[in-house]
Structure 1
């Protein structure tokens, strides 16, 4: 790892980053490559880049437009008109979309209404509508803003409604499963294949099953150029240490979202003693009690996914520059 270049500065990766082949787009959104080429010729979108070998490479922004187009087609809108509405939702062509254009069954949503719309779609079990809301969000906002301004507020309110008894565990689980699938797909797409650059191992603490916040931080870290290896929920700390050593990690990131994870983490904390790299703590519980990070022998990652990723990335750059 010594002598590896630092990760790029925050914000160098954008939603127009070319990263998906046509076959990957087909597997993710179900639109054949031939159809994508037809849309490109007829309607001017998607707008893939070309690899050095001449292959089309699609961006997250392209995927968002494709999903909007699909939503219109499923709603029975003719293809030509669906393309016009799709481009209008992204700020091209018409000055504004018609009611119902970007999200089937709902009016064209201003940015400030995206989080409430996502919340109600998820709680109501309307997953196609939830996908349309996310497609509109990706078409108008950078990914980091989608995570912090749309997905996170919806998740927080879902948790609050569950605690009040307004929704059942079933509602919460279905919403979480939908968002987890979306985030895992984005995480895979942002994968850092190179063996250069810093490596962070991310996992949920012992007893912690809530993964979505950690998935979001891992996604933003990968977009910063950090090799982030995501290990999932309920990770025994002894096994985590063995893996981190084998992978020559530069840092470890642990998530604790509730008291249910604290006892197990305290009991296994001694297993972290052999690590020679910093341990960052994040999650709802740590945000409510930042002092717990030091008590558990680590560092507070930060209050939201973007600031946590920025703090960890800044630390990694400082170490490579000879800082502490």
Structure 2
């Protein structure tokens, strides 16, 4: 009997990949847009590739741009464990929508051909060796994707009964019912931060799992997120905020991140704890955030990073913030770090916190001088 594939084994195997020379990684970055165009046009024109998609539309150029940004992070940082933890999730999410597993090696070979065509041989060879590793471990990615599909549902221990009803109302598009349920939880004695941590975050996780499993559509997922935004807006304006100000904070989601719930939760918890918060929302360009930070001179900056392909730009942003606002404290969080916490180590931030309540407690301690 073949042994069970484990993610830790795959991560260990990825660590044996040789580091791509810096010159090759720089060359890849310089031609990323050309590679995106080459792969996108080839895929769109060839019916053989479309058969693997099983009726799904060909991936948009944006998907391929995200692939290029992700590989740029991997090649530059040498964090090959990112490949090991991300590919099974990607296989699972695509396959749940009917995409055949054979699509992935076919697309990876397209990238290899585009790289060999666009880059000089001395740069293309070490980069395509990484793609070779992906192709060699295709079967393991499939096995891990299947294991993810069979995982049991995670039920948070707090508010579990309300969570089921809230999920049904949310997926049914019943925003009035969602608002009534949340108000009922608050009337029962829960604070807004507790509601965010133990009900809103878990229900959005559940919606995300349903989307990954192909059980709801992109439209369903977007509608659920929109309802949560509207409900949280209503609850926000029912709160009483402290008059005493602890300090000034700036909170934002990273560039290319379109969901902002996580950052909104952190901003709101900080406000309820007495911070004067400038909240910038989703998909904030680094230059705009840096300009805003210089103008308002915050004591604390909190950044939410959802996807690994935003790590490079966020790392550069943090370095720029350090150079121009040397006294500011920088906090990071987001989905990008949940699968691979070690990514936090080289971001240059003062701390990583996994949720809004932990972020609030850390910020309070920093303001009191208890943490550095």
TM-score by length of 1: 0.59
The alpha-carbon distance between structure 1 residues 271 and 260, as it changes in their structure 2 partners (threshold 3 A), is same
Partners of 1:200 and 1:252 within 8 A in 2: yes
Deviation per CA, 1:287-313: give whole Å up to 9, x if none.
Answer: 333333331210333122111111112
The whole-number CA distance in structure 2 between the counterparts of 1:137 and 1:187 is 14
More helix by share: 2
Deviation per CA, 1:111-136: give whole Å up to 9, x if none.
Answer: 43111211121112222222222121
* Equivalences for residues 276-291 of structure 1 within 5 A: 276=326, 277-291=328-342
The whole-number CA distance in structure 2 between the counterparts of 1:185 and 1:151 is 14
The whole-number CA distance in structure 2 between the counterparts of 1:197 and 1:146 is 23
* Equivalences for residues 12-27 of structure 1 within 5 A: none
The alpha-carbon distance between structure 1 residues 162 and 308, as it changes in their structure 2 partners (threshold 3 A), is same
The whole-number CA distance in structure 2 between the counterparts of 1:166 and 1:223 is 36
Q: Residue 275 of structure 1: which of 321, 325, 332 is its match?
A: 325
Q: Residue 308 of structure 1: which of 350, 359, 370 is its match?
A: 359
The alpha-carbon distance between structure 1 residues 135 and 301, as it changes in their structure 2 partners (threshold 3 A), is same
Are 1:205 and 2:250 matched, yes or no? no
Partners of 1:287 and 1:302 within 8 A in 2: no
Partners of 1:192 and 1:226 within 8 A in 2: no
* Equivalences for residues 25-174 of structure 1 within 5 A: 111-140=159-188, 141-174=190-223
The whole-number CA distance in structure 1 between the counterparts of 2:237 and 2:177 is 24
The whole-number CA distance in structure 1 between the counterparts of 2:350 and 2:239 is 26
The alpha-carbon distance between structure 1 residues 182 and 125, as it changes in their structure 2 partners (threshold 3 A), is closer
Give the deviation of 1:275 after TM superposition: 2.5
Give the deviation of 1:286 after TM superposition: 2.4
Partners of 1:241 and 1:275 within 8 A in 2: no
Q: In terms of Rg, which structure is larger?
A: 2
The whole-number CA distance in structure 2 between the counterparts of 1:267 and 1:248 is 19
The alpha-carbon distance between structure 1 residues 234 and 111, as it changes in their structure 2 partners (threshold 3 A), is closer
Q: Counterpart in 1 of 2:28?
A: none
Q: Counterpart in 2 of 1:222?
A: 271
Deviation per CA, 1:117-164: give whole Å up to 9, x if none.
Answer: 111211122222222221211211222221111111100011111111
Matched residue SS, 1:318: coil
The alpha-carbon distance between structure 1 residues 260 and 119, as it changes in their structure 2 partners (threshold 3 A), is farther
- Structure 2 stretches of 5 or more lacking a match? 1-157
The whole-number CA distance in structure 2 between the counterparts of 1:286 and 1:180 is 23
Matched residue SS, 2:368: helix
Partners of 2:318 and 2:347 within 8 A in 1: yes
Partners of 1:226 and 1:313 within 8 A in 2: no
TM-score by length of 2: 0.52
The alpha-carbon distance between structure 1 residues 152 and 260, as it changes in their structure 2 partners (threshold 3 A), is same
Partners of 1:205 and 1:265 within 8 A in 2: yes
The whole-number CA distance in structure 1 between the counterparts of 2:365 and 2:225 is 30
Q: Residue 230 of structure 2: which of 158, 177, 181 is its match?
A: 181
The alpha-carbon distance between structure 1 residues 315 and 270, as it changes in their structure 2 partners (threshold 3 A), is closer
In the comparison of the two structures, how many residue pairs are matched?
Answer: 212
* Equivalences for residues 191-270 of structure 1 within 5 A: 196-266=245-315, 268-270=317-319
CA RMSD of aligned residues (A): 2.5
The alpha-carbon distance between structure 1 residues 252 and 267, as it changes in their structure 2 partners (threshold 3 A), is closer
The whole-number CA distance in structure 1 between the counterparts of 2:183 and 2:305 is 30
